[in-house]
Amino acid sequence: MTADEQLTRRLVDLAAQGRRSRCGEAGSHELWLSDDATDRALAARWCTGCPVLVECGAAADEHDERFGVFGGVDRTPPPAKRKSAATGVRGETRHPTCQEPS
């Protein structure tokens, strides 16, 4: 099973319990993929204690995510280095905030 599949399974399990990750909460989820580094720093702190933190980080590793906060880590390079990042641009990001458990 891939890391992405493990994350999806855990998110589905959480949803079955009526729970969700903090980044999935309406009204705050945009912080995780914000262009503002201060927002992303807050999001990274809010990942603390997330029940899928390990799976989230592993899935982000699997996808080589390079923009946004995953597993409590802001993977966004400093602005000067963003142009050289080959993958992970916002349009390609597969963030847990974007996943709807079925």
Q: Binding residues for ligand SF4, per CB under 6 A? A: 21-23, 32, 47, 50, 52-53, 56, 69-72, 96
Q: Which is nearer to ligand SF4, 1 or 51 (CB)?
A: 51
Distance CA 11, CA 59 (A): 12
d(CA 2, CA 51): 18
Q: Smallest distance from the beta carbon of 86 to ligand SF4, in angstroms? A: 22
Nearer of residues 23 and 76 to ligand SF4, judged by Cβ:
23
- Closest to ligand SF4 by CB, 77 vs 94, is 94
Minimum distance between the CB of residue 23 and ligand SF4, rounded to whole angstroms?
A: 3
Cα 85 to Cα 16, 37, 64, 76, 92, distances in angstroms: 37, 17, 11, 9, 13
